[in-house]
Every structure is written in structure tokens, then in C-alpha cells.
Structure 1
Amino acid sequence: MIGEKKAATEFDEKDITTIVADDLEIKGTIRFKTSVMLKGLFEGEIYSEGLLVVGPTARVNASITTQTLVSHGEITGNVIANEQVTLKSTSIHNGDISTPNIIIENGSIFNGSCAMRAKDITVR
């Protein structure tokens, strides 16, 4: 409706600073301060001071340290998020999660453990 605020886990793709297309395969380390959406394959390490969105076509095999993670796709690896992790209904997560806030939607698959903690990490 007009004038309604979006929930913290909702966003317009046009508001994402960088989009990594679904036909790309990247290996290595990425660091960013704004917002990135992964749609393709990524293997390595991710360090973010902003928002990481894993799109529904993405497959990520990485250790992730971020402020906020919204996953629609597949992640294998451990996640540390200083603000929040949201596993959308299409997501698959194999690995541990450490965050002060987590949302796991019905239909999401989560294989791992979750440690709830205070906001205290520093992204390097």
C-alpha cells in the first residue's frame, strides 16, 4: 500500500549497489561497504560492512562476515552477521550462523547451529 514501509528484509533490486550476474563464477575474497547481490557462483571469503543478498540462483561456498545477510539461494559455510540473518523460503544454508537476530522463513533449509549474541564484531 502507499505509504507503507518495507520490512527490513525487503528491498528493491534497483537499490542494490552491485549485482553479480547469474552467469558469473568468482573465486577469491570480496570486501565491500555498501550492498551486493550475488546471483552466480562464488567460492572464497566475503567481508561486508553492509548488506549481502544471496539471490535465488546463487550458490555460495564461503565464510561470510557481514552486517546483514538476506539469502534466497544456497550457502555452504559459516556466517557471522552483526545485525541480522534472514533465510528466505527458497534458501538452503549448510553451516553455522552467529548473529543477534535471525529470521528463518517456512520452507528454508538450515543445517547447522545458530549462536545468538550481542552486536560486537568488527568487519576487517
Structure 2
Amino acid sequence: MKPAEGSTVIGKSVTIRGELTGSEDLFMDGQIEGTITLTTSRLTIGPNARVNADINVHDVIIFGRVDGNIKATGSIDLRQTAVVTGDVLANRLAIEESAVIKGRVELNPTGASAPQSS
């Protein structure tokens, strides 16, 4: 799997603990524990990645394992090898055959208003 051109790459031998923030596309193939915030960018979680973090991004493509809640203002794309344990909130969600998701899924397409509680 090759990272998208122009993406910052975090290799499979890298481990990060803490808060990761930025404003550019990121390809993550290592391990991270904490939070990931890329509200205007795309995050790609590679096949070797092990993420134990809450994620807040514009778009995310997942090939690896994520334990944590995911919020995407754009789309979430779970590829065949993806395993996600946590709640998912997005405008769009694509799940390939064999991908696994364990948690609550909430879709809020662009332009639709969120349900209001009384």
C-alpha cells in the first residue's frame, strides 16, 4: 500500500503517545495512543497500524485496527482489513466486505439537521 502523494508518513516502526494534531494529510502505519485531530485533512490508517485513540478528522480511510471513537466531517472508508471498535459519526460511511465494526454508527449527511431532543 502506497501513501497518497503529498501525505506526511508515520512508518510502522513509530509509536506515538499523546495528542497528534495537524492540517495536512497523514498516512499512519505505526502505533498511536491518545487523540488524533486533523479537522481539515485526510487520515489514512495503514494495514500495520494499531490505533488506540479518539479520532476527529475530515476524512479517514482505515486499513488497520482502531480502538476509539471516530468523528469525520466528511467520510469514513473501512477497507477489507479494517477492524474498528468504537462509535462512528460521519456524513458518509463506506464499508468493504470483511471489514469489522463494533460500536454505534451515526450518519449525518451534509445539509441534514441533527435530531433535536425535547
TM-score by length of 2: 0.88
Counterpart AA for 1:37: F
Gaps of 5+ in 1: 1-10
1:34 to partner: Cα distance = 1.4
In structure 1, C-alpha distance between the alignment counterparts of 2:82 and 2:4, rounded to whole Å: 21
Moved over 4 A (4+): none
What CA RMSD, in Å, does the superposition of the two structures yield over aligned residues?
A: 1.6
The aligned residue for residue 43 of structure 1 is 33
Identify if the C-alpha distance between structure 1 residues 65 and 14 changes in structure 2 by more than 3 Å, giving closer, same or farther: closer
TM-score by length of 1: 0.84
Q: In the alignment, is the contact (CA less than 8 A) between 1:99 and 1:119 conserved in 2?
A: no
Percentage of matched positions with identical amino acids = 25
The aligned residue for residue 109 of structure 1 is 100
Identify if the C-alpha distance between structure 1 residues 56 and 16 changes in structure 2 by more than 3 Å, giving closer, same or farther: farther
Counterpart AA for 2:32: F
User: SS of 1:50's equivalent?
Assistant: strand
The aligned residue for residue 92 of structure 1 is 83
Counterpart AA for 2:22: F
1:32 to partner: Cα distance = 1.2
In structure 1, C-alpha distance between the alignment counterparts of 2:79 and 2:7, rounded to whole Å: 21
The aligned residue for residue 32 of structure 1 is 22
Q: In the alignment, is the contact (CA less than 8 A) between 1:72 and 1:91 conserved in 2?
A: yes
Counterpart AA for 1:31: T
In structure 2, C-alpha distance between the alignment counterparts of 1:14 and 1:71, rounded to whole Å: 13
